[in-house]
Chain A
Amino acid sequence: MNKAQRAAWIALLLVVPAWAICGQLPVLLIYLEGPSFLHLFSFACATIIGGLSWLLLLLFNRKRKRKTKIEFDERDKLILIRSILAGYVVLWLYFIAACIYTWLTASPDRSISVNVMPIVIVEGIAVFIFVQSVTTLIQYERGGKDGEK
């Protein structure tokens, strides 16, 4: 099992449930205490970092590329990109499903709580990380023993 596979397992078992449960915390805080700058800032930071954490991984490994010991090669990069794109496909379908569901449950002339939107986004991060981790593991599994480091 290489580093990326370990990271995918950790994300699948720890990060996804943590996001699904604790991700609602900023939404709850804003609902209880009002939208202060600190609360909105923490929500924006958490969702941006949660949704774009793969970007940090790519940038970090690009910087480390100069070092002699290569831990993240072209194949790992290709797997990461493919899993990100798969994650985004499912995320897009999830957003569509959320929209259609709210449309069908509340008729079009009615209104919904403004907190529904951030909750959908926070849960979207959990969906994205879940799909990204699963596709990463599947791709490494397909690669077989040749892919092991």
Chain B
Amino acid sequence: MNKSQGESWIWFFLGLLCFLVPGGVAVFIAYDRGISFAPVFMFTGIVIWGGLFWLFPFICGKLRKGKKKVSFDERDQLIHKKAVMVAYVVLWLYFVAACVIAWCIVGPHGSISVNVMPLTLLGGLVIFTFVQGLASLIQYSRIDKGEKA
């Protein structure tokens, strides 16, 4: 198991809790105590950090390019890119499904709580992280099998 594969496993289990719990808390605080700087800042930070965390390995890879020890090579980059794209496809389908379901449940003249939108975004973040971790693990396991055979 290489470093990226290990990170995928960690991401797979801990990533969900890292975003879902604090994000949910931020929405609850805003709902309970009214809108203020702290919950909005907390929510924005979590969704930006969580949703764009996949950029981190690329930035690190570019910064470390001069060093001799390569921990994130071309193959890892390709796997990472593919996993991100698969995760985005699923995320998009989730957003479309969320819209259609809300329409069916409430009806086109109905209304939803304003908190549904940030909660939908948080759900999307969890799905994105989950699918990205899963897609990375599947790709690494496929390559490992190919290497052994």
Spell out A's residues near B (CB within 8 Å).
30-31, 34-35, 40, 43-44, 47-48, 51-52, 55, 81, 84-85, 88-89, 92-93, 95-96, 98-100, 102-104, 106-118, 120-121, 124
Contacts and interface: CB of A to CB of B under 8 A. Distances in A.
Contacts of B55: 89
Given A52-B89, A92-B52, A111-B113, A103 B104 contact: no
Interface stretch (B4-12, B117-125, B135-143): B117-125
Contacts of A109: 31, 34
A117 B92 contact: no
In this complex, the member of B34, B103, B106 whose beta carbon has the largest number of chain A beta carbons within 10 angstroms is B103
A100 B48 CA distance: 12
Nearest to A33: B108
Interface in B80-121: 81, 84-85, 88-89, 92-93, 95-96, 98-100, 102-104, 106-118, 120-121
Given A103-B35, A103-B118, A112 B44 contact: no
In this complex, the member of A47, A84, A99, A117 whose beta carbon has the largest number of chain B beta carbons within 10 angstroms is A99
A44 B99 CA distance: 9
Contact of A48 (B44, B96, B115): B96
Given A35-B107, A111-B112, A114-B110, A92 B100 contact: no
Interface residues of B, number: 43
Interface string B51-89: 110010000000000000000000000000100110011
Contact of B103 (A85, A108, A114): A114
Contacts of B113: 110-112
B134 interface: no
A103 B30 contact: yes
A100 B112 contact: no
A96 B74 CA distance: 31
B40 interface: yes
Contact of B102 (A44, A85, A100, A117): A117
Leading 9 A-B pairs by shortest Cβ distance? A111-B111, A92-B51, A51-B92, A118-B99, A108-B30, A114-B106, A31-B108, A108-B31, A99-B117
